[in-house]
């Protein structure tokens, strides 16, 4: 199953080759939840839904994201470089 997942997240070359297209023809849909972006996926470990008035009680507490050394926006160039690399390999 892990091999199939890796193939899909990397563009499904096996599927697109049949039509003469390359894996760059696919769209990799990694994350979506009320504006939760790919950048959020590499920048936050916990929920930050305070602004919606539900005191962070909304939504699931299951979280598979990683902040990579700092929660939220970081001014550390090493952290931002790592996040940028992770985003690029996810696309």
| Total tally of structural domains belonging to the chain | 2
**Which domain range does residue 44 map to?**
31-90
pLDDT single digits (tens) 57-66: 877 777 788 9
* Rounded distance between C-alpha atoms, residue 43 and residue 9, angstroms: 20
73 in the same domain as 35: yes
pLDDT single digits (tens) 31-67: 656 667 888 889 999 888 778 888 888 777 777 889 9
Contacts within 8 Å (CB) and 24+ apart, 44-52: 44/71, 44/72, 45/71, 46/71, 48/72
68 in the same domain as 38: yes
Determine how many CB atoms are found less than 10 A away from the CB of residue 43.
Answer: 23
* Rounded distance between C-alpha atoms, residue 88 and residue 52, angstroms: 30
38 in the same domain as 14: no
82 in the same domain as 52: yes
41 in the same domain as 21: no
């Amino acid at each position: 199953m892990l091999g199939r997942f890796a193939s899909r997240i990397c563009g499904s070359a096996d599927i697109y080759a049949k039509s003469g297209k390359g894996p760059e023809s696919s769209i990799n849909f990694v994350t979506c939840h009320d504006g939760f972006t790919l950048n959020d996926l590499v920048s936050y470990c916990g929920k930050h839904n305070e602004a919606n008035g539900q005191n962070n009680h909304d939504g699931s507490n299951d979280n598979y994201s990683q902040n990579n050394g700092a929660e939220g926006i970081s001014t550390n160039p090493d952290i931002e470089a790592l996040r940028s690399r992770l985003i690029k390999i996810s696309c």
